[in-house]
Amino acid sequence: MYAVVVKTEDSSDCDIAAFSAACDQRQEMGYTPPTATKKQRRNKSAIWKYFTTCDDDVTKVVCNICKRVVSRGKDLAHLTTSAMHNHMHYKHRNVAAFCGTQGCRKLQPTPTPPVSLPFVFENLQPEAPEQPSHPMIQTITESVGEMICTDLLPYSFVENKGFCKLMNLVAPRYTLPTGIHFSSKVVPQLHQRVKTKVQENLENIEGNIVHCTADMWTRNFSTSSYLSLTGHWFVQNLSGGVAAKHKRISALLDIKVMDTEYKPAEIFEHLQELVEKWQSMIPCRFSVGYFVTNNSCNMVKAMSDSGFEHLRCMAHSLHLIVTGAIEECHGVVNVINTARQITNTVHMSNKAIAKLHEIQERLGLTVAALIHDVPTRWNTVLFMLQRLLEQKSALIAMSTEMDLGGSVSGHQWTLMEAIVKVLEPFEEATRTVCQDDSSISSVIPCIQALRAALNELRANKDVSDLLEIHQLVGLLQSHLEEHFQHVFETPTNTYFKATLLDPRFKIMPMALLSKLDFERLKAAVAVEVEEFLEQDSKPLGGEARFPSRTVLESEGTSKKSTSLFWGAMQSFTANNAASLVTSSGLVETYLAENSTQSLTSDPLISYWSAKMAQSPALARVAIKYLTCPPTSVSCERLLGTGEDAVAPDYRLLPVHVPQLVFTKYNLMKFQ
């Protein structure tokens, strides 16, 4: 009997010498090695791609990736690769994929090790992956955390095979943390950092007024609802300690997960809790101005019992006006249903889509798909009709070759054109009040523009001769007056004050109110100015002086729009130089000033920011009103994002939604 030592492919002469020396040493200690009856097994395991045997000790191996020493055991006759498998599983999971239990981890078949991209880790030392505090490692980990928040990904995404393969290619020496690490440390730290930046921004607020918007959203077949709270304010940032730069800010303050069976009282309690949390963080600097919500019964009831000054979302009011008028006009409903049938038929057939594109190219039309309408967005009905009219010739030619699910008569095409003409002013008004820099000062001008547009449509013989359209215009007028009656009830209400303090529309209250009511409005604004004057620690040192004529014109001022809506808006602001009472008061001086501004400009930035030094009290009153948005669209867009986050294919738990959505919404704003 004799022992045979076979040199393996991974061994070296030094390894054999070390092995013999170790055997001699163990024999001197009284150990007799077992007699081998067959050849030693070769290192055929795929794990050896990532390890090299130590020159001075065959019982230990060195990881080729991180250069860490791993022990294979103490018994030379029973050296194993379990520790090597464990090391790869816990330290380099993105390099090799393992399966099975902890006691038996099998290396999955892997392709040739990917080519390293040295530019990612060009400054890292070999031991860097074992140092989580290394700047490059922290940067990559934080970037992955930002990606999870920005795209609202489930935390398990970091363990997907495709992503691990990508990270192995881009940063082969980077150890990708598990999903639990991101959910418990990385994302919470990122969330707290973003929240701190929001808090720091609130500490520079002008006037200590924050206007809030709130909305509720419930996903179908879900047991959870989401209550969102956004804030809107105006800040002054000092640049180099000299120049002051003002900016309009909107941010998500919080999201609350609620049960679907909520009551108005519960909505109020949760909103109060969210507001008080921020007020405790920023004492004496966070005062709620106005609460803007939609017109749902629960929200209206919650706001009426809350004590907050409540304003209804104008965009939602316009939605109710248009949808309500259309539902009562059966001739218009028939045209829309026919258009919807054609759109659905084409969308559900690949053959129909290909045929439509073929005809569009043959007729020289724009190759475009038909547009579906969405029940919660009335303007999608307008977009659907506009697209059908745009592709009218293609659809007529297509109807001769295949069934479109419905046919449009000549009268219906005429009705469709008239419906589009009637609804376009409402779409422009909706788009105007939904802009990020829009304020409640645009509510009265938009209502007046819609009134003027509808009156002009009623006087248009081509439109009024159509019975269905005549009925639609009348219904729109009645619904418009019904929904916005509260806006014109009191001459000193919020809407008239905001309109008066907007230099684009300041002449409008005088045209709408009696002389006595207009004087009452000016007096109410002057009272608020006096309150700010008393609060100022520094005396003004004299009355503010304004130039006799100030021209602040943006690029879009000289462009004359041909639409009914903007034509009416421009006619309201064309005579800003009308003679007004000129006295020594700040309000009268502001009204007497002849200013020319674009309808698309932001008065806070283009006008009042420059007036902060000359008349800070009046400017603060203007900021108080002009920072309030006329809609709760910011919340609705936010909850649309949340809808994607809790989709079934993402498997994102409701408890994770608030943190991820908050970080996503505010990350880009406060970076």
Query: Is the alpha carbon torsion for 324, 327, 333, 339 positive or negative?
Result: positive
Same domain, 293 and 339: no
Side chain identity at 226, as an amino acid letter?
Answer: Y
Same domain, 412 and 511: no
> Which among 498, 371, 477, 369 has a CA at the least distance from the CA of 422?
477
> Which among 622, 617, 582, 584 has a CA at the least distance from the CA of 499?
622
* Residue 316 confidence (pLDDT) above 50: yes
State the CATH number of the domain containing residue 229.
Answer: 3.30.420
Strand 209-218, strand 224-239: pairing: antiparallel
Question: What are the pLDDT digits (tens) for 152-177?
Answer: 888 889 999 999 999 988 888 888 89
The answer to whether residue 580 sits within a structural domain is: no
Question: What are the pLDDT digits (tens) for 121-131?
Answer: 444 444 444 56
For residues 65 and 174, what is the distance between their CA atoms, to the nearest angstrom? 10
Mean pLDDT for the chain overall: 79
**How much of the chain, in percent, has pLDDT values that exceed 70?**
76
Average pLDDT over residues 286-293: 91
The answer to whether residue 230 sits within a structural domain is: yes
**How much of the chain, in percent, has pLDDT values that exceed 90?**
38
The answer to whether residue 253 sits within a structural domain is: yes
Contact 473, 329 (CB under 8 A): no
Other CB atoms closer than 10 Å to residue 100's CB: what's the count?
12
Tell me, what's the pLDDT at 193?
Answer: 94
Place of tokens 């745009």: 390
Tell me, what's the pLDDT at 444?
Answer: 95
Task: State the burial class of residue 308 (Cβ atoms within 10 Å of its Cβ: 0-12, 13-18, 19+).
Answer: buried
* Residue 183 confidence (pLDDT) above 60: yes
For residues 297 and 303, what is the distance between their CA atoms, to the nearest angstrom? 10
The answer to whether residue 125 sits within a structural domain is: no
Same domain, 289 and 431: no
Same domain, 344 and 409: yes
Strand 287-293, strand 209-218: pairing: parallel
For residues 549 and 466, what is the distance between their CA atoms, to the nearest angstrom? 48
Residue 247's pLDDT band (cuts 50, 70, 90): confident
With vertex at residue 670, the alpha carbon angle to CA 667 and CA 671, rounded to the nearest 5 degrees, is 75
The answer to whether residue 88 sits within a structural domain is: no
Task: List, as own/partner pairs, every contact residues 81-86 make where C-beta atoms lie below 8 angstroms and the sequence separation is at least 24, other chains included.
Answer: 81/45, 81/47, 81/48, 84/47, 84/50, 84/51, 85/47
Tell which wins on pLDDT, 339 or 3.
Answer: 339
Same domain, 329 and 412: yes
The answer to whether residue 467 sits within a structural domain is: yes
Side chain identity at 355, as an amino acid letter?
Answer: K
CB contact set of 411 (below 8 Å; sequence gap of 6+)? none
For residues 278 and 199, what is the distance between their CA atoms, to the nearest angstrom? 8
With vertex at residue 603, the alpha carbon angle to CA 602 and CA 608, rounded to the nearest 5 degrees, is 135
Other CB atoms closer than 10 Å to residue 276's CB: what's the count?
11
Residue 92's pLDDT band (cuts 50, 70, 90): confident
Tell me, what's the pLDDT at 566?
Answer: 61
Same domain, 474 and 418: yes
Tell which wins on pLDDT, 648 or 61.
Answer: 61
Contact 612, 244 (CB under 8 A): yes
Please give the structure tokens belonging to residue 623.
Answer: 């900021």
Same domain, 329 and 243: no
Place of tokens 């109410």: 524
Please give the structure tokens belonging to residue 85.
Answer: 């498998």
The answer to whether residue 23 sits within a structural domain is: no
> Which among 203, 273, 264, 188 has a CA at the least distance from the CA of 233?
203
Tell which wins on pLDDT, 487 or 39.
Answer: 487
Average pLDDT over residues 455-478: 89
The answer to whether residue 114 sits within a structural domain is: no
Domain that holds residue 302: 188-312+631-668
Tell me, what's the pLDDT at 15?
Answer: 46
HEC readout, 198-246: HHHHHCCECCCEEEEEEEEEECCCCCEEEEEEEEEEEEEEEECCCEEEE
Average pLDDT over residues 249-274: 87
Same domain, 274 and 336: no
Task: List, as own/partner pairs, every contact residues 40-46 make where C-beta atoms lie below 8 angstroms and the sequence separation is at least 24, other chains included.
Answer: 40/4, 40/5, 40/6, 40/8, 42/8, 42/9, 43/8, 43/9, 43/10, 45/81, 45/107, 46/107, 46/109, 46/110
SS3 130: helix
Highest mean pLDDT among 117-131, 251-265, 544-558: 251-265
E-only strand ranges, 74-176: 98-100, 105-107
Contact 609, 237 (CB under 8 A): no
Got the DSSP string for 451-515? HHHHHHHHH-HHHHTSHHHHHHHHHHHHHHHHHTGGGGS-TTSHHHHHHHTSTTTTTHHHHHS-H
Give the number of domains in the chain.
Answer: 4
Other CB atoms closer than 10 Å to residue 465's CB: what's the count?
10
> Which among 666, 194, 321, 599 has a CA at the least distance from the CA of 435?
599
For residues 439 and 187, what is the distance between their CA atoms, to the nearest angstrom? 34
Tell me, what's the pLDDT at 57?
Answer: 86
The CA distances from residue 596 to 34, 518, 556, 600, 660, in Å, are 101, 22, 12, 12, 44
> Which among 464, 524, 540 has a CA at the least distance from the CA of 490?
524
Tell me, what's the pLDDT at 25?
Answer: 53
> Which among 145, 277, 139 has a CA at the least distance from the CA of 663?
145
Tell me, what's the pLDDT at 90?
Answer: 72
In sequence order, the β-bridge partners of residue 212 are 231, 291
Got the DSSP string for 265-295? HHHHHHHHHHHHHHHHHSTTT-EEEEEEE-S
Question: What are the pLDDT digits (tens) for 393-427?
Answer: 999 999 888 888 888 889 999 999 999 999 999 99
Average pLDDT over residues 174-184: 90
Residue 558's pLDDT band (cuts 50, 70, 90): very low
Same domain, 242 and 367: no
Residue 391: its H or E element: none
Same domain, 455 and 501: no
The CA distances from residue 612 to 463, 502, 546, 618, 659, in Å, are 49, 15, 12, 8, 37
Ranking 53-67, 138-152, 212-226, 265-279 by mean pLDDT, the lowest is 212-226
Same domain, 367 and 351: yes
* Residue 627 confidence (pLDDT) above 90: yes
Please give the structure tokens belonging to residue 144.
Answer: 């992955």
End-to-end CA distance of the chain: 76
For residues 154 and 230, what is the distance between their CA atoms, to the nearest angstrom? 24
* Residue 575 confidence (pLDDT) above 60: no
Residue 600's pLDDT band (cuts 50, 70, 90): confident
Same domain, 328 and 456: yes
